[in-house]
Each structure stands twice: as C-alpha cells, then as structure tokens.
C-alpha cells in the first residue's frame, strides 16, 4: 500500500504522510475520575480595546507559546483577546484567587461587517482553535429562523496580531450548524486513521433545533483539499444526531427517565483525550430530576422565555464520554453517526459553579467554553459569570483540571 499524502492547505496543517494507519493497540477508555481539580484563577473586568469580559461569551482556546487563553468577550461585541495564564490558586474564596494580568492582545472585533463581507449575518462565535499560525473560528447566526445558513467559519491568519487584516472568505463547513462549534486537535494514532488533524463539533446550544445536532456531535475536517482556494470545507460526521434521531427521544423528560440529554442540555467542547480511546465532551444539562416545560413559571416564581426546568436548582455542569473505536466504525461505514452513544456521562461537580443571589437563591454558572493543553495535560473551563465579586460586572472564572495516569 502506497502512502497517501495529505497535502498542506494554506489554512490548516503542514503536510503529513499517512501510510499504513498505525495500530491503535489497546488504548483504554477513561473515566471522568481521571480529571483532577488543579485550581482556578480570575480574569480582569476592565475594558481592553474594543470590549471587556463582562457578561462574556466565554469561548476559549489555549495558545501554548504564550501559555495563554484566547477568549471571546461580551456577547454583543463578539470580540477576542488573549490573556496570560497565572499560577493557579487553590482558595475556595473568589477574592483570594490569583487574577490574570492585562491581556497580551486586547479585544478586537473579528466578525466581518456588512452584507458584502458577511451576507448570512454570522453574529455568535461558537468555537475557536489555534491552526497553523492563525486562529480558526466557527460562528453562527444566533437566530437562524429558517435554518438555512451555510456560512460557518473564518480564519485569522496572524496568531500574534488579531488586528491583521483578514482577506480570507467566510468558509462553509459541510456539516453546517451541526459541526460549527468547538474545534480541537486529533491526536495520533487517530489523526492517521481519520486522515485529519482537526475535529469540530456542536450541539443544540442556540435556537432553531432543526438545524442542530440534538446531542454532542463530532466531525472530522477534510484537510486533503486546498481549502484556501475554496470556501467550502468537506467534513465527515462521526457522531451526529437530529430531530429524527436524537441522543434521547424524550427531550422534555416527560417520562422521567431521561438522564443523558434534554432540551436544555448544552455541549460546549469536545476533544479526543491523547493516549486514550475517549472522546470527552463537556457542557451543562438540566431537567433530569424535575419537570421541563416551555415558557413556564418556575417554582421560585421566575417566568421562563423558553424551555426550562420547573426546579431552578435542576441545572448542573455535565459530561459525556464516547468510545473513539465506535467513531472509527462510523468512519468506515459500519455504523451510523446517530448510533453512537456515550459509555459514561453524568453531572460534573465543579468548584464555584453556583453562587447566591441577593434574595438567597442560587445562580448557576455553566461551562461556556473549554480548552485542552496537551503539553501540561491541563483542561481549562470557562464558567459563565462565575466571578461576580463585582455584582454589576460579572466575568468568567477559569477552572483547571489535570489529566492523570495518561
């Protein structure tokens, strides 16, 4: 068998040669217990450049050369900045945790403006990843009522200069909104087996369920094409659901036996854990213990604008672990993407995930983004509005977990 060369694109990866796919051996699947809490740190709530972290989107990615995180700031701005990672703190008190320094790069609004440059009005960044010498960003129109948007992605060519003019087109992932969320690197041996180094995924995190995967997805990106010459990017689904084939049929948990995925579940980051057969996905869920209704009044008197749990405390951070060997069977045409179920899932108890409200209730701080540093084996979570030491200006809190025994 001759080597199949996966040619470099100007957008993605340097050339690699995939000959006989390496034997994956007996790479183990792992449990959530392999992730151990390592500490936390705070982010500043000041304005830097074109935005701030107040009520931030919180989508993040890790940049190894600077030991930093790129993060999406205030939702209405959709700007990106780069902040250094300080030494992690162990205190259980927010005020005693270390605070990141001023950004390495201040906030820059990166989504193209105007019908000519952004004809489908992409206005919500859903995933960012370091690719080649730049940043690859997935984005959606937050409320795409017709579910017809095909544009999904842009490329910022200068990792060290977010203001550098971007002359790349808006790209269209074949998987559209089903795929246009988080971005992560595929480690060996799986990158050779899937003939790609790039994995993307998403879930029903924004309105219009018909355009989304009703459960966490996973797509590999075809890096054999010269993507820089075409705005269309081919993808192949390894895990993908739909309204017809949901991860769990009873998304409103009317029967009370749905413990895996409801209409208020979100998935915000997924990656194949190096040296394992585990695809780990992290996000939040709810409604597994109480009733779920649409625009109901919760038990605390709060009127919901959409689907919500009757009990306002019935929300929690969550994880789903899938076996990559099942994903290989989909890649080989032996299984359908909606046949892949997690082998382990459940509540992820994270420090600082709740805080008290002024009237004695609880605020829930969900995972809004995550990033993995393969060098230190550290998984970073961005907890939405969890640093509310300044009540009127809440910002994300960064929580870190170390991968052990790998």
Contact 249, 260 (CB under 8 A): no
9: pLDDT strictly greater than 60: no
Q: pLDDT above 70 covers what percent of the chain?
A: 91
HEC profile of the chain: CCCEEECCCCCCCCCEEECCCCCCCCCCCCCHHHEEEEEEEECCCCEEECEECCCECCCEEEEHHHCEEEEECECCCCEEEEEECCCCECCCCHHHCCECCCCCEEEEECCCCCCCCCCCCCCEEEEEEEECCEEEEEEECCCCCCCCCCCCEEEECCCCCCCCCCCCCCEEECCHHHCCCEEEECCCCHHHHHCCCEEEECCCCCCCHHHCCCCCCEEEECCCCCHHHCCEECEEEEECCCCCCCCCCCCCCCCCCCCCCCCCCEEEEEEECCCCCEEEEEEEEECCCCCEEECCECCCCCECCCEEECCCCCEEEEEEEEEHHHHHHHHCCCCCHHHCCCCEEEECCCCCCEEECCCCCEEECCEEEEEEECCCCEEEEEEEEEECCCCCCCEEEEEEEEECCC
pLDDT at position 133 is 84
pLDDT at position 222 is 80
pLDDT digits (tens, 9 = 90+) for 361-383: 889 999 999 999 999 999 999 99
∠ CA 128-132-137, nearest 5°, is 20
Residue 305 neighbours by CB under 8 Å, 6+ apart = 295
pLDDT at position 13 is 32
Mean pLDDT of the chain: 91
pLDDT digits (tens, 9 = 90+) for 44-56: 999 999 999 999 9
Banded pLDDT at 7 (limits 50, 70, 90): very low
pLDDT digits (tens, 9 = 90+) for 178-195: 999 999 999 999 999 999
Please state the rounded mean pLDDT for residues 57-63: 97
pLDDT at position 211 is 97
pLDDT at position 2 is 27
User: Of how many residues is the chain composed?
Assistant: 406
Residue extents of the structural domains in the chain: 4-403
How far apart are alpha carbons 396 and 42 in whole angstroms? 8
pLDDT at position 14 is 30
Banded pLDDT at 225 (limits 50, 70, 90): low
Tell me the pTM.
0.93
How far apart are alpha carbons 223 and 233 in whole angstroms? 9
270: pLDDT strictly greater than 70: yes
pLDDT digits (tens, 9 = 90+) for 107-125: 999 999 899 999 999 999 9
106: pLDDT strictly greater than 50: yes
Please state the rounded mean pLDDT for residues 81-104: 97
Yes or no: domain 4-403 corresponds to CATH 2.115.10? yes
pLDDT digits (tens, 9 = 90+) for 302-360: 999 999 999 999 999 999 999 999 999 999 999 999 999 999 999 999 999 999 887 77
pLDDT at position 293 is 97
pLDDT at position 167 is 63
């Amino acid at each position: 068998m001759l080597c199949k060369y996966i040619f470099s694109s100007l957008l993605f990866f340097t050339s690699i040669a995939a000959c006989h796919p390496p034997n994956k051996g007996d790479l183990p699947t792992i449990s959530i217990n392999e992730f151990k809490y390592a500490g936390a740190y705070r982010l500043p709530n000041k304005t830097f450049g074109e935005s701030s972290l107040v009520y931030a989107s919180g989508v993040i990615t890790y940049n190894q050369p600077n030991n930093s995180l790129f993060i999406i700031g205030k939702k209405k701005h959709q700007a990106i900045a780069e902040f250094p990672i300080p030494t992690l703190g162990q205190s259980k008190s927010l005020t005693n945790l270390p605070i990141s320094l001023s950004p390495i790069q201040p906030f820059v609004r990166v989504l193209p403006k105007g019908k000519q440059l952004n004809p489908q009005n992409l206005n919500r960044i859903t995933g960012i990843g370091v690719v080649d010498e730049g940043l690859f960003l997935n984005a959606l129109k937050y409320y795409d009522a017709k579910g017809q948007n095909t544009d999904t992605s842009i490329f910022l060519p200068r990792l060290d200069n977010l203001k550098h003019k971007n002359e790349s087109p808006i790209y269209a992932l074949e998987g559209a909104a089903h795929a246009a969320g988080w971005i992560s690197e595929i480690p060996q041996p799986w990158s050779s087996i899937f003939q790609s180094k790039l994995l993307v995924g998403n879930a029903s995190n924004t309105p219009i369920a018909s355009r989304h995967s009703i459960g966490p997805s996973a797509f590999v990106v075809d890096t054999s094409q010269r993507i820089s010459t075409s705005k269309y990017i081919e993808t192949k689904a390894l895990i993908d659901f739909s309204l017809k084939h949901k991860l769990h049929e009873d998304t409103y948990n009317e029967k009370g036996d749905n413990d895996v995925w409801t209409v208020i579940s979100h998935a915000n980051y997924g990656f194949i854990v190096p040296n394992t057969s585990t695809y780990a996905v992290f996000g939040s869920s709810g409604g597994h213990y109480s009733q779920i209704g649409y625009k109901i009044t919760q038990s605390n008197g709060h009127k919901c604008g959409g689907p919500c749990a009757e009990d306002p405390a019935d929300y929690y951070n969550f994880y789903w672990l899938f076996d990559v060997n099942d994903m290989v069977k989909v890649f080989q045409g032996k299984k359908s993407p909606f046949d892949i179920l997690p082998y382990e899932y459940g509540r992820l108890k994270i420090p600082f995930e709740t805080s008290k409200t002024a009237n004695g209730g609880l605020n829930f701080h969900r995972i809004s983004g995550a990033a993995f540093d393969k060098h230190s084996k550290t998984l970073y979570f961005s907890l939405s509005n969890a640093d509310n030491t300044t009540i009127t200006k809440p910002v994300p809190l960064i929580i870190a977990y170390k991968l052990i025994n790998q």
